[in-house]
């Protein structure tokens, strides 16, 4: 084995090891809100969309009368309501 090639290889592997070590350090992002601390978040008032039909109707009322649409979380359904 030629010395230059071996050195280059070792250098590259060392870089890889350093990256792996660094990433292993980053790997476990501990969830900062534990499952037993999620009581408030489990309440229905902490949902962005509470009742599907009501949200859908309200979204329809505005989509039909305004030029803006989308990103509301209500999917699909077209109509010729122009």
Q: Is 3 in the site for another protein (CB under 8 A)?
A: no
Rounded to the nearest whole angstrom, what is the least distance from the CB of residue 8 to another protein in the complex?
Answer: 7
- Candidates 3, 7, 30, 59; binder of another protein (CB under 8 A) is 30
The pair of structure tokens assigned to 17 is 């090891």
Site string for another protein, 38-57 (x = CB under 8 A): xxxxxxxxx-x--xxxx-xx
Residue 53: burial class (beta carbons within 10 Å; 0-12, 13-18, 19+): exposed
d(CA 61, CA 69): 11
How many chain residues interact with another protein (CB under 8 A)? 67
Q: Report DSSP state, residue 39.
A: T
Answer yes or no: are the C-beta atoms of 40 and 15 closer than 8 Å.
no
Task: Catalog residues that contact another protein under the rule CB under 8 A.
Answer: 1-2, 5-6, 8-9, 12-17, 19-21, 23-46, 48, 51-54, 56-58, 61-62, 64-73, 75-82
């Amino acid at each position: 084995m030629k010395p230059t090639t071996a050195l280059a290889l070792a250098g590259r592997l060392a870089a890889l090891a350093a990256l792996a070590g660094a990433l292993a350090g980053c790997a476990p992002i501990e969830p900062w809100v534990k499952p037993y601390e999620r009581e408030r978040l489990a309440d229905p008032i902490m949902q962005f969309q509470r009742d599907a039909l009501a949200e859908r109707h309200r979204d329809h009322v505005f989509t039909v009368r305004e030029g803006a649409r989308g990103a509301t979380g209500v999917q699909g359904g077209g109509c010729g309501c122009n």
